[in-house]
Amino acid sequence: MTEQLARLDALPFRLMPMTPTIGAEIDGIDLREALSDAVIAGLRAALLDRKVLFFRDQDITTEQHLAFARRFGALEVHPFAPCKPGYPEVLAITHDESNPGRENEWHSDVTWRLEPSLGSILRGIEMPPVGGDTLFLRHVCGL
């Protein structure tokens, strides 16, 4: 655990681990609001430690989504996947009966780049009543 992660108790959010090694739910943050540098630093420490963070029930606009994402660094434009019209940094992933999902295999997002992204900020707008899960795997090298 990083020293910064140990100081999360002083920040205005709660981190609730979801498994012993990966994932945590964040409570007490409204992503529609401007967040302080200290909160962003705490979230970055939590992300680096837990690998996946979940922010539940966040009714945010695309602009608020992008503003939050930019607090973690410069945003990328995916080199070949479709974007949301008017928002080149937003990858549009939509599925229905005529366009079924093809992501149901293990994959890594743009890790083939010379400088891979820190991560992705996924925003579920419409979810099916059953399924629609995104699974995450923490890969450990050298074991």
Q: What is the pLDDT of residues 101-139, one digit of tens each?
A: 666 665 667 777 888 888 888 888 777 777 666 666 655
Higher pLDDT, 25 or 9: 25
- Output the CA torsion sign for 107, 108, 112, 113: positive
The DSSP annotation for 58-126 comes to: ----HHHHHHHHHTTS-----SSS-EETTEEEEE----BTTB-----S---SSTTSSS--S------SS
Give the number of domains in the chain: 2
Are 46 and 87 found together in one domain?
Answer: no
* Boundaries of domain holding 110: 75-127
What is the reported pLDDT for 4?
A: 53
Q: What is the pTM of this model?
A: 0.80
Residues forming beta bridges with residue 83, ordered by sequence position: 91
Is 103 inside any structural domain?
yes
Q: Report pLDDT digits (tens) over 44-102.
A: 999 999 999 999 999 999 999 999 999 999 998 888 888 899 999 998 877 777 877 66
